[in-house]
Amino acid sequence: MSFINYQNKEINFKIVYYGPAQSGKTTCLEYLFEKTKGKSKSKMIQQESNERTLFFDFMPLFLSDVDGFKTRFHLYTVPGQVLYEDSRKLILKGVDGIVFVADSSVDQMEANLRSMESLQTNLTEQGISLEKVPLLIQYNKRDLPLGANLEAMRKLLNPLKKPDSETVALKGVGVFEGFSRIAKDVIRDYAENT
Ligand SMILES: Nc1nc2c(ncn2[C@@H]2O[C@H](COP(=O)(O)OP(=O)(O)OP(=O)(O)O)[C@@H](O)[C@H]2O)c(=O)[nH]1
Ligand SMILES: [Mg+2]
């Protein structure tokens, strides 16, 4: 749920990077954090000790104002390990847009699917439908020599035909483009529903 700061003339949006354990969510956020150096942003908050939640916020300069308000994006990652379902529910609270980071390792297809199912369940509990929420699916680790077939992954994870793209988060390939896409979709969704 976006919130407006009238004093600073800012609209705040929350984007969550969701996906199975080790799919590359944190790597995406770290890349974006580095890439946006010095652009009116917070420190990156990390709790390495326990569940490795990580977030920061910044104001993307490439986006135009919305009704005279600047936009600030709060980027979060969830811990992917199955064990941390409660944390994922908590982090998803008030989400405006989701980047689902899927792992292209062939042995991770079951984990990808389970994670997508948990996303749907957790959103439904909040009264948000997977069909309607701004969602981008990133097929990550496309550099793996024996990675899963792209069309097979699409069939498995994207029956709704949401926007999707290939990424190599480790090298930053496609990561900023992905953020830019979800940011624009979130702003469009906000404009249509307010
Ligand atoms: N080959 C390859 N490895 C990647 C890529 N992106 C991330 N990794 C590696 O995958 C591992 C997991 O990356 P993380 O970003 O920590 O994954 P995560 O999704 O945050 O994992 P959890 O926090 O456990 O849910 C690390 O060793 C990364 O370096 C990629 O595009 N290609
Ligand atoms: Mg992580």
> pLDDT of 127-157, one tens digit each?
999 999 999 999 999 999 999 999 999 999 9
Banded model confidence at residue 53, pLDDT cuts 50, 70, 90? low
In a mutational test of the pocket of ligand 1, which residue from 140, 142, 170, 173 has the highest number of ligand atoms less than 8 Å from its CB? 170
Instruction: DSSP for 146-194, please give it.
Output: TPPPHHHHHHHH-TT---EEE-BGGGTBTHHHHHHHHHHHHHHHHHHH-
Rounded to two decimals, what is the model's pTM?
A: 0.95
Does the pLDDT value for residue 52 go beyond 70? no
**Ligand 1: lining residues by beta carbon, under 6 Å:** 19, 21-27, 52, 77, 79-81, 140-141, 143-144, 168-170
Q: Residue whose CA is closest, atom 4 of ligand 1?
A: 170
Residue spans per domain, the chain: 3-193
pLDDT score of 63: 81
Q: Which CATH superfamily is domain 3-193 in?
A: P-loop containing nucleotide triphosphate hydrolases (3.40.50.300)
Q: Residue whose CA is closest, atom 12 of ligand 1?
A: 22
Does the pLDDT value for residue 110 go beyond 90? yes
Point out the ligand 1 atom lying closest to the alpha carbon of residue 140.
Answer: 31
Sorted by sequence, the CB contacts under 8 Å of residue 61 that are 6+ apart come out as 39
